[in-house]
Structures are given as C-alpha cells and as structure tokens.
Amino acid sequence: MELKLTGKTALVTGGSEGIGKGIALALAREGVDVAICARRMEPLEAAAKEIAGETGRKIVPITADLRSDADAKNFIAQAHKALGKVDIMVNNAGSAAGGVIEHLTEDDWEKGLQLKFMGYVRCLRYVLPIMVQQGGGRVVNLIGNDGVKPSYWEICPGAANAAGQNLTLSLAGQYGKHGISFCAVNPGPVRTERWAGLVKAMSRDMNLSYDEADQLAPASIPMGRIAEVEEVANLVVMLASPLMHMVNGTMIEIDGGQEKSLMDRARDKR
C-alpha cells in the first residue's frame, strides 16, 4: 500500500538513537524530510548523516534539551524554518526511572515527569499553532503501556505515561476541528540501547541475577519476546500516513499482549 508520505515533513524528538532514530529512518524511507533533536550533537549528527546517506532525504539535526522551554521552542522554530512546514509531529524523547517507590528519589520523579511528560507539552505548545495555520497535521505521541497496564516497579514511568495519554486524548478533542489528529502509541518493552540498563535496575531492586531479570518481560508476553525498534517504527509510520488521518483520539498498544501483572507476581516470589 502506498502511504502517500512522499514530500511530507516530520519532527521527531529523541531522534539520535533507539526508537526515535528508528522512526526517523522509517519515515525517511517513505520519502519524508525529517528534523530530529536530542541533547548531544555528536550522536545526533551521526544519526542524521546515516539516515540521509541511506534515504537521500533531508535530515536536520537540532540540539535540544526538552526539559527547557526555550530549547523546545527553538527546536520547533528551527525545524519549521528548515523544512518549510510541519506535517507530522512525533513526540518520543524522554524516559523515566524504573524502580519501586522505596528506591525512587525526588530527582527521579522530577526528571521522569519533565522528560516524559512536560517535554511533550512544550513541543506541542509551539507546534500546534503552526499546524493550525497550515490547516492540519498529525501528532503521534510515543508514550508507553505503563500508563494503561500499571506495574509497581514502573510506577514513575506509569504516572508520566498516564499523563501523556490523557494529554493526547484531550488535545484530540480540541484540535480535530483544525484538521489535526492525535494518536498515542504505547510500546511495551523494546530492545533499544536502554534495555540493558533497565534489566540491571530490575536485577538490583528484585535481588535477581541479570539473566533472571532479563526473562521477566518476555515471560509476561504471550508472544514470548520483547518488541524490536523496527516494529514500533513501522506502526508509527503507518499512523503518520494521511490514510490514517481519521484515527484520532486513539491509543494503540504494541506489546505482544503483555500482561504486566505477571511481572509483578514473578517478583513477589523472590
């Protein structure tokens, strides 16, 4: 199926690695010019060069720390200037610390909410007026299944994700009349550069070996494995297509049918 994305433009936050880089690459392969942001310029420029080299599309790297309102504003403004328009906004940047409440610090909570929720708010605050003026657009928010499938070990990301999901559905109701549609994509565990660190944290908190901790997530998924970056990126690209514009105010889990409670019960036995 032709997704009718050739010639479109997209902004992708957290685009230097992991899911964000995978999304930027998948969009570029479909003919989309992309602006990507991250906090560090070196990996950002490397990702942009790699994606542009493979696809021949315009890839614009812009440094931004989305905990800063000024950085978010600058990213949107510079990306808009470089690309000329903003057809698609993909909010992806940010993470929140895993762990039980006894191990989470005040700083963990602050960073989680700033990165995983307020960064999305800031980008949307500045990109939505552009889309309104253009007469439409598409927003895909990468959030996470923690917000709809609670787990006590993922209480901080779960709180941030639930806020992001509420934001997505609320804005879908407000901006539909402007031709702007919203969708939340809620991945479960994904094999990115961060996965090993998450497994180490689970091992620490639950007094498990690394190998035991690494099996907790797959054991909670009927398909018996965690997702790959490409699988999440493919879903986002499909949802970003004009063919999917009527999919508004919707959340889609991509987690293989994960039952989060099975992870908690497995931990409880330790």
For the chain, give the mean pLDDT.
93
CATH of the domain at 81: 3.40.50.720
**204 inside domain:** no
pLDDT of residue 7: 98
Q: How many helices (DSSP H) and strands (DSSP E) are in the chain? A: 11, 9
Residue 211 lies in a domain: no
Number of domains the chain contains: 1
Residue 206: partners with Cβ closer than 8 Å, 6 or more residues away: 153, 213, 267, 270
Tens of pLDDT, residue by residue over 94-130, are 888 888 899 899 999 999 999 899 999 999 999 999 9
**Domain annotation covers residue 97:** yes
Q: Is residue 265 part of a domain?
A: no
| Domain membership flag for residue 193 | yes
- Record the pTM: 0.94
d(CA 171, CA 131): 13
- Interval 183-202 mean pLDDT: 86
Residue 105 lies in a domain: yes
For residue 266, being part of any structural domain is answered with: no
Encode 246-256: b = buried (16+ Cβ within 10 Å), e = exposed: ebbebbebbbb
User: Half-sphere exposure of 90 toward its Cβ, with a 13 Å CA cutoff?
Assistant: 34
Residue of 86, 90, 72 whose CA lies nearest to 185: 90
The answer to whether position 206 is within a domain reads: no
Q: What domain range is 52 assigned to?
A: 9-197+227-259
